[in-house]
Structures are given as structure tokens and as C-alpha cells.
């Protein structure tokens, strides 16, 4: 599977995260990762952005590993004022299917948008949202295969 999420620090907080999937790429901003209030709240630098991205990746793995066949998790990757970007992951008997990224207008989630930190995930109604609250990570460096 051709899937990567990389950070290229350009010192602006904008257009510096790249999601590559199925031969396409989506350019995102790191700004909302830098202002995460849960993980390293006292800093807003490159190291913090990388730490939040690592935690986001760990939580993607936790959400995916917890799926039963046929269940779906929406994994966030893009955070901005206008919308949020998500990957749709479905558990199959032979592994997982990840569908092309989608973006949802923040207005649909305005009540949630300002209440969460990007370093925290909580599964609600089969959507994976970022939320305040501690969760331990056991998915350090496992792959996506079942």
C-alpha cells in the first residue's frame, strides 16, 4: 500500500505536511498540530509537530487494530479553519481497505472542532475524533496488516 504522511518544516506552519496515497498527494498545514494543548503545551516548534504526528499515527494504529471485519474508522490527517481531512479505513477479512481522503467542512463539526487536541483520539460512533483525555499507546510501530 502506497500511504505516507510526512512533515517538511518550512517554518510557516502552512503547506508543510504531505499525505501521499494511491499516486496522489494532499498538502496540509501543521499549524493546528503546533497549537495542540495536550502534548507539549508549552512549545510550538518542529519537535512538537513531529511528536503530535507520531501520536496521531499511533492512535490511527490503535483505532485500526480495534476494528472488527466490516467496521469503519475515519482517520484524521488535515486540520484547518475551513475543513478537516480524513481517511476512511474498513476492516476486511483479509486486511484493511483505505479509501481516498475526504474533507468535511468544519461547520458540520464546529461543536467538536474547538474541543479537541490533535494528539488525542477517541472513537465515537465509528468515527475517530481527537479529544481531550488520556489514552495509552500500545501500537508503537506495528504495520496495518492483520
Per-position DSSP letters for the chain, written without gaps between them: --EEEEE---SSSSS-EEEEETTEEEEE--HHHHT-SSSSTT--SHHHHHHHHHHHHHHHHHHHHTPPTT-EEEEEEEE-SSEEEEEEEEEETTEEEEEEEEEEEGGGGHHHHTT--TT-EEEETTEEEE-SS------SS--S--
The whole-number pLDDT of residue 70 equals 93
Q: Determine, yes or no, domain membership for 140.
A: no
Classify residue 62: in a domain, yes or no.
yes
Radius of gyration over alpha carbons of the chain, in Å? 15
pLDDT tens-digit map of 36-65:
888 999 999 999 999 999 999 999 999 998
* pTM to 2 decimal places: 0.71
138 domain-assigned: no
Asked if residue 102 belongs to a domain, the reply is yes
Widest pairwise Cα distance in the chain: 44
Q: Does residue 143 sit within a domain?
A: no
Residue 136 lies in a domain: no
Of 65, 78, 73, give the one whose Cα is nearest residue 89.
Answer: 73
Total domains, the chain: 1
Residue at 141 is within a domain: no
Q: Can you give the residue range of the structural domain that contains 105? A: 3-130
Give the residues of the chain that fall short of pLDDT 70.
1, 105-146
Amino acid at each position: 500500500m502506497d500511504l505516507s504522511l510526512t512533515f517538511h518544516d518550512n517554518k510557516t506552519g502552512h503547506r508543510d505536511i504531505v499525505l501521499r496515497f494511491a499516486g496522489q498527494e494532499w498538502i496540509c498545514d501543521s499549524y493546528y498540530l503546533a497549537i495542540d494543548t495536550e502534548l507539549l503545551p508549552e512549545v510550538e516548534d518542529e519537535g512538537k509537530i513531529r511528536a503530535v504526528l507520531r501520536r496521531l499515527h499511533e492512535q490511527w494504529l490503535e483505532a485500526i487494530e480495534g476494528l472488527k471485519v466490516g467496521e469503519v474508522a475515519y482517520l484524521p490527517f488535515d486540520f484547518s479553519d475551513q475543513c478537516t481531512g480524513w481517511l476512511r479505513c474498513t476492516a476486511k477479512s483479509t486486511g484493511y481497505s483505505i479509501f481516498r481522503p475526504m474533507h468535511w467542512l468544519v461547520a458540520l463539526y464546529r461543536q467538536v472542532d474547538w474541543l479537541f487536541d490533535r494528539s488525542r483520539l477517541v472513537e465515537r460512533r465509528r468515527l475517530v475524533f481527537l479529544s481531550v483525555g488520556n489514552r495509552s499507546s500500545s501500537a508503537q510501530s506495528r504495520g496495518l496488516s492483520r
